[in-house]
Amino acid sequence: MTLTDETRAVRVGVRGVVQGVGFRPFVYRLAHAEGVRGWVLNGPAGVSLHAEGAAEAVDRFLERLRSEAPAAATVASCEVTPAAVEGLARFEIRHSEERGAPTARISPDLCVCEACASEMREAGDHRFGYAYINCTNCGPRYSIIRDLPYDRATTTMRAWDLCARCAEQYADPLDRRFHAQPVACPACGPGYRLVAGGRTLCRDGEAIARAASMLREGGIVAVKGIGGYHLACDARNPGAVRALRERKFRKEKPFALMVGTLEEARSLVQMEDAHERLLTSVARPIVLAVARVDLSWVAPGNDSLGVMLPSTPLHLLLFDEGAPRTLVMTSANRSSEPIAYEDADAFVRLDGIADAFLVGERPIARRVDDSVISVDRVGGRTQPFMIRRSRGYAPLPVASLESDRPILAVGADLKNAIALVVRGEVFVSQHIGDLGEAETDRAFRETAEDLLRMYGVKRRDLLVAHDLHPEYVSTRSAMAFDAAERVGVQHHRAHVASVLTEHGLFDERVVGVALDGTGLGDDGAIWGGEFFVGSLRGGLERVGSIRPASMPGGDAAARHPAQALAGYLHTEEGVAALLAAPVEMPRRYFDAVQMVRHGVRCFETTSAGRLFDAAAAVCGFVRPISFEGQAAIWLEQAARLASGSPDPVRDPSLDPAGLLLALIAHRTAGVGVREAALWFHRSLAASVAARATGLAAEHACGTVALTGGVFQNDLLLSGVARLVEDAGLRAVVNRSVPANDGGICLGQAALASV
């Protein structure tokens, strides 16, 4: 080797999701292509490499390193420092460095890639028809990892030894399967079997074909996917869907759909580019969009549908084998339990629901439910709006904090997710679910243990952040936790802090608006429509709220919109307004009025969720709800169909009784349900925006943060955001984590860190 003056050497540290996604072979191929010598290896913090050669070659190598990274990789930073020339003869992939405390990011699960999908369909290919085909660009990651570093021996694939052909590909740096940890083939890897009545009916290709035919005939099949079991049936067969509802005890909550192709998805829902980008992204989430077809049994009383594309090779094979072109694909569980992911457990819990089980032999290390996402226009362009953050996203970090202390934030009890802060990075777990049921509570504990173990965090160093509510399962778990220190964080402050953290706003003074169902306030009252002023680091002071009302009957007020209405309108005037058509209330309303008047089991609340329920009741939704947010969703959809509305009112004092009486007056004067619903949305948006902009002027703030589950209502969110922006202010909303309680853990972690 001759070293010329032009020979240049650099060391590069690449951080982000760069392990298990084909990054080293990518570097290797690049080095060969550019004639660069050196080495690359996986270290505890990411990928490290040394490159030397002619100066222009090294420059080109570095440029392509940044611009051509593999699709599944996320490069957070790429640090280049000059190094001494070592006079190396070639470029090589070296063994991983000894393990320090791991900070390398774990890749989320990836959908099957194009190359694998076509190999799988090519007769004569080594993996023809193989449901577990994968490569470094695709396949399971988070759902099979038992420990770090990410190596086959630490995944659920450790039980399968590679055959000679797979081993050769695994060892070849120029192969797409170089160090693809879950690599397997029909000769050496796991398979699928179809089980019914406790017996295995058939295996592999035959099992998949048989399952497809059962689905065609209207059967319900439990299908093991990446992060758990789904229950599948033909979405265009009302009888099959009805049977699924009855067996699953799921009255009206919409089911998600899976279709084989993007064209099929386009025929089902109205999509813009933003929807299609999400639908076809490697995360393969469920995307919510307005329906084009009537599948009312899939989503009763709901004009949106949740659609996803196949995420695993198995799904593709099912469609290839003639499964119905639109499948219901709902998380396999009973009602509100978390998704089943272990075979034995699935057999027990889904007994009587599934006619058969398509059981994959590869174990799932942890349950990872499907993610749900929609699209909004805040800020003048369409952007993703997370509803449920899980498969494909977890456990990626969502933000950075200036804190070296490990923090575990346990979230709230509904839509629970937890966060772990390691060296300033906030890793947010997959969606866990509603706590308070044995299965979900178990999932919660497992997830906490899991994150701590994987990132090597010692409990004695840990600060645990939890909600203020002493009765929350999450709070009680935090109390029982053997941690160094604990801190309680108020629910709505955590909501506001979650938005600020996502946007890196730590010191800016802002107005924070949190509209949601309920959360315990500083004063022991039930809050839910709150205004704050301050900064994340300096503290968020509560400066206002929706005017409080007295809710009768405890939790029942959250299930019965008519009962919530009584909380606002229990005066003579209110009751009288409700005696005349077209606003006729059921008996429950009048009984609830008596409860308020006698102070029976009443509590004060500023909840925006209850206000929406009450408005829905005025517009005709007077039956009990069967899932959280149902009445509000109904009201929003009615409003979307309106041709116009009377002029909205603007009431910065946010007096619910005033708004509701005016709503009743419109209905009584002959304004239609849809137009009245739209009037309510516009009026509430105008009132919330008026309060927020007033506070911004008073406290000299330039930014308004909008958060809380009620802001999942896009009509309200975009309405408030537009008015805030019209006033010359900036509106910020949640993007990476949900605005609902699924995002609380991020805010808790951030407030605990300052």
**Which residue ranges make up the site for Zn ion (CB under 5 A)?**
113, 116, 135, 137-138, 163, 166, 185, 187-188
Amino acid of residue 674: R
Can you tell me whether residue 257 is helix, strand or coil? strand
Provide the minimum distance between the beta carbon of 24 and Zn ion in the complex, in angstroms, as a whole number. Answer: 16
Residue with smaller CB distance to Zn ion, 85 or 188: 188
Nearest approach in angstroms of CB 190 to Zn ion is 11
Question: Comparing C-alpha atoms, which of 250, 373, 234, 261 is closest to residue 306?
Answer: 373
Are 391 and 416 a contacting pair, CB within 8 Å? no
74 vs 400, beta carbon nearer Zn ion: 74
Least distance in angstroms from the C-beta of 155 to Zn ion: 16
CB of 531 to Zn ion, least distance (A): 49
250 phi and psi angles, rounded to 5 deg: -120, 100
Nearer to Zn ion, 138 or 399 (CB): 138
Q: 166 or 287: whose CB is closer to Zn ion? A: 166
Shortest distance, CB of residue 310 to Zn ion, whole angstroms? 13
Q: Which is nearer to Zn ion, 111 or 732 (CB)?
A: 111
Return the number of the residue (116 or 354) whose C-beta is nearest Zn ion: 116
Smallest gap from residue 423 Cβ to Zn ion (A): 32
Helices (H), 571-629: 572-577, 587-597, 608-618
Which CB sits closer to Zn ion, 203 or 722?
203
Q: Alpha carbon of 88 to those of 11, 52, 396: distances in Å? A: 14, 8, 36
Tell me the two tokens of residue 697: 């002027």
Beta strands in 471-597 (DSSP E): 485-489, 510-520, 526-535, 539-545, 549-552
Residue 427 contacts residue 454 (beta carbons within 8 Å): no
CB of 170 to Zn ion, least distance (A): 9
314 vs 373, which CB is nearer to Zn ion?
314
Pick the closest to residue 680 from 707, 712, 715, 724 (CA basis): 715
CB 252 within 8 A of CB 630: yes
State in angstroms the smallest separation of the CB of 183 from Zn ion.
Answer: 7
Backbone angles phi, psi at 419, to 5 degrees: -130, 145
Residue 180 Cβ, how far from Zn ion at the closest point, in Å? 8
CB nearer Zn ion, residue 310 or residue 629: 310
Cis peptide before 582 (omega within 30 of 0): yes
Query: What is the spatial distance between Cα 396 and Cα 104, in angstroms, rounded to a whole number?
Result: 11
Strand order in the sheet with 46-54: 74-82, 7-17, 46-54, 37-43, 91-93
Cβ-based nearer residue to Zn ion, 317 or 435 = 317
Contact predicate 656/614, CB 8 Å: yes
CB of 227 to Zn ion, least distance (A): 18
Where do runs of H (alpha helix) occur along 217-307? 238-248, 262-268, 273-279
Place of tokens 């990132």: 455
Spatial CB neighbours of 70, under 8 Å, sequence gap ≥ 6? 21, 22, 23, 26, 136, 137
Enumerate residues 6+ apart whose C-beta is below 8 A from 240.
Answer: 218, 219, 220, 233, 234, 328
- As measured in angstroms, the least distance from the Cβ of 391 to Zn ion is 17
Half-sphere exposure of 418 (CA within 13 A, CB side): 29
| H-only helix segments in 601-726 | 608-618, 630-640, 656-668, 673-699, 714-726
3-state secondary structure of 501: helix
CB of 71 to Zn ion, least distance (A): 10
CA separation, residue 119 to residues 116, 288, 315, 440, 544 (Å) = 5, 31, 15, 39, 60
Cβ proximity to Zn ion, 21 vs 279, nearer residue: 21
CB of 511 to Zn ion, least distance (A): 47
Residue 276 CB neighbour total at 10 angstroms: 15
Q: Which is nearer to Zn ion, 116 or 478 (CB)?
A: 116
Nearer to Zn ion, 315 or 491 (CB): 315
Phi-psi region of 652 (alpha: psi -120 to 50; beta: other; left: phi over 0): alpha
Beta carbon of residue 603, minimum distance to Zn ion (angstroms, whole number):
54
Return the number of the residue (135 or 368) whose C-beta is nearest Zn ion.
135
With CA atoms as reference, report the closest residue to 235 among 252, 254, 263: 254
Closest to Zn ion by CB, 138 vs 565, is 138
**From the CB of 176, what's the least distance to Zn ion, in Å?**
7
State the minimum distance, in angstroms, from the CB of residue 111 to Zn ion. 9
What span, in angstroms and rounded, lies between the C-alpha atoms of 42 and 378? 40
CB of 175 to Zn ion, least distance (A): 12
Residue closer to Zn ion, measured from CB, 186 or 363: 186
Nearer to Zn ion, 34 or 109 (CB): 109
Q: In the numeric block, which tokens belong to residue 579? A: 């005696």
Tokens of 440: 């979900």
Q: Contact at 8 Å (CB) between 596 and 582? A: no
Q: Is the peptide bond before 310 cis (omega within 30 degrees of 0)?
A: no
